[in-house]
C-alpha cells in the first residue's frame, strides 16, 4: 500500500496507527491548532474511488448526529493532495481484537466495564436511529481502564421502515461474517436486533478469546450463524457465570424477536449480571496486580 505525502494541508502525518483495505489511519499534528488528531485517509491507490469517498462523507454525517463519549468524534471531511480524509478525535489505544489476540488474561478483569461501555455507546447510536451493522472487536478501541471508543460508522444505516436517502439504504450484504446476524446474512434490512446479535458474538469473544462460530470456509461459518445452536461460553472459560452464559445465548437467538428488545435493555442487564465467578474474579484481580 502506497505511503501518502507527509503533509496534507495543515496536517502533518506523524505515525501510522492502522490500515484497512482502502484506508489508512494516521496520527497527525494539526499545525493550524497545534493539536494532535487522528486522520482516516483514503490510500493513494484508491483516491479516485467515488464509493469510498461517499462512505467517508456518510460516516461524517452519522458522527455529527451523535454526542457520546464512547463514540469517536469526527471533526470534518476534507481533501488535500487529492486524498480524501476524515479528521477525528485521537484515542491512542489498541482495538479490542488486538487486546484479545494477546490473550484474554489481558482484558478479562475489565470485561464487564468494557461490555457496559460498549453497550451504552451502541444504545446511544440506536437512540439516534442508526444501526451500526459492523460491530466487532476491531471497531472498539479500549484503554487499560476499560474506556472505549466505538469507531467505523461507514456502514451505519437507518433501521427498516425509516425513510432515508443515504447510500446505506442499499440492500447489499455487508459486514463481517463472524459477527453477522442471520437476517444480515440473508440480505434483509438490518434493524437494531442485528446489532444486538453482533454484540452477542463480541461479548462471547470478550470472555472466551474466540468467536462463537467458526468454519473451515466462509460458507460453513455463515451456515453456522444461520442454523447452529449457540455454544456456552463457560465450556471454554469455566470462570463465566451461569447468568452471563444464559444472557449471551439470548443475544445470539436466531430469531430477532427472541433477543432482548433493545440495547438499552442489554446495557441495563449487563450492569446487574456478574461476569465471573468469585474464584475467576480473584484470579483476574491477582493478574492485574
- Break the chain into its structural domains and give their ranges: 7-88, 96-288
Q: How far apart are CA 23 and CA 44, in angstroms?
A: 9
Q: CA 161 from chain center: how many Å?
A: 24
- pLDDT value, residue 162: 64
Give the start-end residues of each E strand in the chain: 7-8, 11-19, 23-30, 35-42, 74-80, 83-88, 140-142, 148-150
Instruction: Compute the half-sphere exposure of residue 84: CA atoms within 13 Å on the CB side of its CA.
Output: 20
Question: Helix, strand or coil for residue 103?
Answer: coil
Report the candidate in 40, 9, 38 with the shortest Cα–Cα distance to residue 22: 40
Dihedral (CA of 198, 54, 169, 125) sign: positive
- pLDDT value, residue 81: 84
Q: How far apart are CA 144 and CA 99, in angstroms?
A: 10
Cell of 147: 474506556
- Among candidate residues 30, 49, 120, 134, the one labeled active-site is 134
User: Do the beta carbons of residue 131 and residue 194 sit within 8 Å?
Assistant: yes
**134 has catalytic annotation:** yes
- pLDDT value, residue 114: 98
Instruction: Compute the half-sphere exposure of residue 252: CA atoms within 13 Å on the CB side of its CA.
Output: 27
User: Do the beta carbons of residue 118 and residue 126 sit within 8 Å?
Assistant: no
User: Do the beta carbons of residue 23 and residue 41 sit within 8 Å?
Assistant: yes
CA separation, residue 268 to residues 114, 135, 169 (Å): 14, 19, 30
Give the start-end residues of each E strand in 31-136: 35-42, 74-80, 83-88
Domain covering 7-88: architecture: 2-Layer Sandwich (3.30)
Q: At what angle do helices 263-271 and 192-208 cross, to 10 degrees?
A: 30
Q: CA 11 from chain center: how many Å?
A: 27
Please count the helices (runs of H) and the strands (runs of E) in the chain.
Answer: 9, 8
pLDDT by residue for the chain (289 residues), tens only, comes to 778 899 999 999 999 999 988 999 999 999 988 899 999 999 999 989 999 999 999 999 999 999 999 999 999 999 998 899 999 999 999 999 999 999 999 899 999 999 999 999 999 999 999 999 999 999 999 999 999 999 999 999 999 876 554 444 445 557 899 999 999 999 988 999 999 999 999 999 999 999 999 999 999 999 999 999 999 999 999 999 999 999 999 999 999 999 999 999 999 999 999 999 999 999 888 776 6
The CATH homologous superfamily for domain 96-288 is Transferase(Phosphotransferase) domain 1 (1.10.510.10)
Question: Helix, strand or coil for residue 92?
Answer: coil
Amino acid at each position: 500500500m502506497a505511503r501518502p505525502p507527509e503533509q496534507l494541508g495543515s496536517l502533518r502525518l506523524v505515525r501510522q496507527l492502522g490500515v484497512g483495505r482502502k484506508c489508512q489511519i494516521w496520527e497527525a499534528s494539526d499545525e493550524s491548532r497545534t493539536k494532535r488528531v487522528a486522520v482516516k485517509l483514503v490510500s493513494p491507490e484508491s483516491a479516485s474511488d467515488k464509493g469510498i469517498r461517499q462512505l467517508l462523507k456518510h460516516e461524517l454525517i452519522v458522527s455529527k448526529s451523535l454526542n457520546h463519549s464512547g463514540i469517536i468524534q469526527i471533526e470534518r471531511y476534507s481533501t488535500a493532495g487529492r486524498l480524501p480524509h476524515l479528521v477525528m478525535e485521537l484515542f491512542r489505544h489498541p482495538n479490542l481484537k488486538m487486546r484479545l489476540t494477546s490473550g484474554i488474561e489481558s482484558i478479562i478483569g475489565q470485561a464487564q466495564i468494557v461490555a457496559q461501555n460498549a453497550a451504552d455507546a451502541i444504545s446511544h447510536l440506536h437512540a439516534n436511529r442508526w444501526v451500526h451493522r459492523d460491530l466487532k472487536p476491531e471497531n472498539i478501541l479500549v484503554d487499560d481502564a476499560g474506556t472505549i471508543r466505538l469507531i467505523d460508522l461507514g456502514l451505519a444505516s437507518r433501521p427498516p421502515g425509516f425513510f432515508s436517502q443515504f447510500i446505506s439504504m442499499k440492500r447489499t450484504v455487508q459486514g463481517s461474517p463472524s459477527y453477522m446476524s442471520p437476517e444480515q446474512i440473508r440480505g434483509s434490512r438490518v434493524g437494531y436486533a442485528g446489532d444486538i446479535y453482533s454484540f452477542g458474538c463480541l461479548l462471547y469473544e470478550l470472555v472466551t478469546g474466540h468467536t462463537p462460530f467458526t468454519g473451515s470456509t466462509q460458507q460453513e461459518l455463515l451456515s453456522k450463524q444461520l442454523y447452529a445452536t449457540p455454544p456456552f461460553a463457560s465450556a471454554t472459560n469455566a470462570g463465566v457465570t451461569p447468568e452471563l452464559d444464559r444472557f449471551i445465548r439470548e443475544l445470539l437467538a436466531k430469531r430477532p424477536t427472541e433477543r432482548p428488545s433493545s440495547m438499552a435493555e442489554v446495557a441495563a442487564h449487563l450492569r446487574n449480571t456478574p461476569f465471573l465467578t468469585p474464584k475467576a474474579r480473584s484470579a483476574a484481580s491477582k493478574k492485574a496486580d
